[in-house]
Chains A and B, each alone.
Chain A
Amino acid sequence: MIDIVGLIASNLIWILAIVIGGTLISISVHFIPVGGAPAAMAQATGIGTGTVMLAAGAGIAGIIAAGAVMAVNQDLWVVIGAAAVGAAVMLAATMIVATWIYAYGVGVMPVSAKVKYDPITKYRQDLYVSQGTEGHGIPTVAYVSATIGGLLGGLGAGLAYYALMKVSTLPVTNLNLVAVVSTFTIGFFFINSVIPSYNIVGTIEGFHDPKFKKWPKAAIASFLASIPLGILAVVAVGSLAAVGGL
């Protein structure tokens, strides 16, 4: 039996970091243009898959980036910076390929149905929305929004990863520690990207979408949900050092 209370008490700062990370992940999901099945048929703006898949893909890319950097440099800002950039690059790459497919494969132009003028390029939008659809492709504003979402999500994932790595007394290059922490962070990321997707309900285009205003609800929900998850994760990762032969 391990000293649960002692582990929690000595790692309060890292539990807080995990909770902040979870909240950041939750906010980040609202920035990502998720079209779901309608977008897969080019009938809604965004990428044609669910929130969870898209956010988790970005989050896992961020965790890989954080893990790779953490092995050589344990500075907090370097690790979470790498995670943020890794996740943002992953989302940007997904979207540029999706844009090619929508433009050259499906034959639709990127257009938003939620705003009359693109807030960034100031281009007229409503004229180009095909009848019976809710926009299609990934317009500039959604692209920029998703990149911000990737940065935030990666930041959250990197923060949770860094915090859990610091909980254990094992060296950061210990393979078992890296594996357990990565598994935890991925599970944590999935939970914190499902909660906001229930808040969004269906599709969202990014920060210009009226649904974006609902983000505080998901942020509070993820904040609350991350507290027990953070405690469990800290106990499990903290007790790794006591296991012999790792």
Chain B
Amino acid sequence: MTEKKMIPPNTLLAFGVVGGLVGVYLAYFLAPMNPIFVFFGALGAVCASVWGADVVRRVASYGLGTGVPSIGMLALGMGIIAVLFGLSLGLGPAGPLVAFITSCVIGAIIGIISKKVVGMTIPIMVSATTEIAGAGALLILGLSIVIAGSLDFGVVVTEVVTTGFIMMIYIAGGMAMLHPHNSNLGPDETQDRLLALSAEKAGIAVVLSGFASVAGMGAIAVTMLIGLFIWYIFWGKYYGFVKRDAYKVIDVGMLPTEEEMQ
């Protein structure tokens, strides 16, 4: 890593967890008053996605041995199961929190299994799977409340799952987490550029879920505008970072010759 200023993992963890949970809960409590407030869920989803993208960046830079998309799909797979479980318990306001914690627990279990049984040698594997599972769950919760306007299990099932928008969340949300590292990896990878791309991708996911929302025209318009705004701002930032990084010449050395490879 050549750059000087890096956001430490714990700051991003706090940003993702607090931002995600606060966003989901603000939407949860304010949506009954006015459905427009579901956009807080979208903001929470963006926070979670930036956090998740940073975790993917840290774990995948060790080399997963298979494509980066695998870990994004794993994150959202764990998230979906945990979210539907957490909401199905009928705990009311505790539901999203239970879903988030369940997701982290599944993530930890899968991390421990892949380390102890499969024998992966990545030192941060357990913490990374725990974090991406949590980020995946928050992302699904945030975008689900945008679409359904509520986190009541019955409403989420009929408006998000049965309509098939859950798959849109799965892929668009997964993209926001896995794509930044997949497209920025390499010796000239910089954290700020990667995170900007994640926020940009999350903006697209917010626009899509705003479009799919059943919470009324106001919620659709506000969420889509916020999504477009996030997309525009971070697309500009990302473009700026790409230009900055491209103008700087970084010597990565020559490709090794055949003799050096022996």
Point out residues on A near B: beta carbons under 8 Å.
1-2, 4, 36-37, 50-53, 56, 175-176, 179-180, 183-184, 186-191, 194-195, 197-202, 217-218, 220-221, 224-225, 228-229, 232-233, 235-236, 239-240, 242-246
Contact = CB atoms under 8 A, between A and B. Distances in A.
28 contacts: A1-B90, A2-B89, A36-B67, A50-B67, A50-B70, A52-B69, A175-B162, A186-B170, A194-B66, A194-B70, A197-B65, A198-B120, A199-B118, A218-B118, A221-B117, A224-B109, A224-B113, A225-B109, A225-B113, A228-B106, A229-B106, A236-B87, A236-B88, A239-B88, A239-B153, A242-B90, A243-B157, A245-B158
Given A195-B118, A198-B118, A236-B88, 20 more contacts: A176-B162, A180-B84, A183-B166, A186-B77, A186-B170, A187-B80, A191-B110, A194-B77, A195-B113, A197-B70, A200-B66, A221-B118, A228-B105, A232-B85, A235-B88, A236-B85, A239-B153, A240-B88, A245-B154, A246-B158
Contacts of B91: 1
Given A198-B114, A221-B118, A190 B73 contact: yes
Given A50-B69, A190-B76, A1 B118 contact: no
Interface string B158-197: 1001101011001000000000000000000000000000
A186 B164 CA distance: 12
B85 to A, nearest CB: 4
A210 B147 CA distance: 48
Task: Identify the 10 closest CB pairs spanning chains A and B, nearest first.
Answer: A201-B65, A190-B77, A50-B67, A236-B88, A179-B162, A221-B117, A187-B77, A232-B85, A187-B80, A243-B154
Given A2-B88, A2-B89, A200-B66, A217 B81 contact: no
A194 B78 CA distance: 11
Nearest to A202: B65
B84 A184 contact: yes
B69 A53 contact: yes
Contacts of A189: 77
A53 B66 CA distance: 11
Nearest to B82: A232
A20 B95 CA distance: 29
A5 B68 CA distance: 38
A184 B157 contact: no
A179 B77 CA distance: 15
Contacts of B153: 239, 243
Contacts of B150: none
Chain B: number of interface residues, binned into ranges: 35 or more
B223 interface: no
A217 B119 CA distance: 9
B130 interface: no
B162 A194 contact: no
B122 to A, nearest CB: 9
B90 A2 contact: yes
B101 interface: no
B205 interface: no
A240 B157 contact: yes
Contacts of B76: 187, 190
Nearest to A238: B88
A246 B110 contact: no
Contact of B73 (A52, A202, A218, A225): A52
Contact of B157 (A4, A221, A233, A246): A246
B228 interface: no
Contacts of A36: 66-67
B177 to A, nearest CB: 13
Contact of B66 (A52, A176, A180, A228): A52
Contacts of A246: 154, 157-158
B120 to A, nearest CB: 6
Nearest to A51: B66
B242 interface: no
Given A2-B90, A52-B73, A246-B158, A198 B85 contact: no
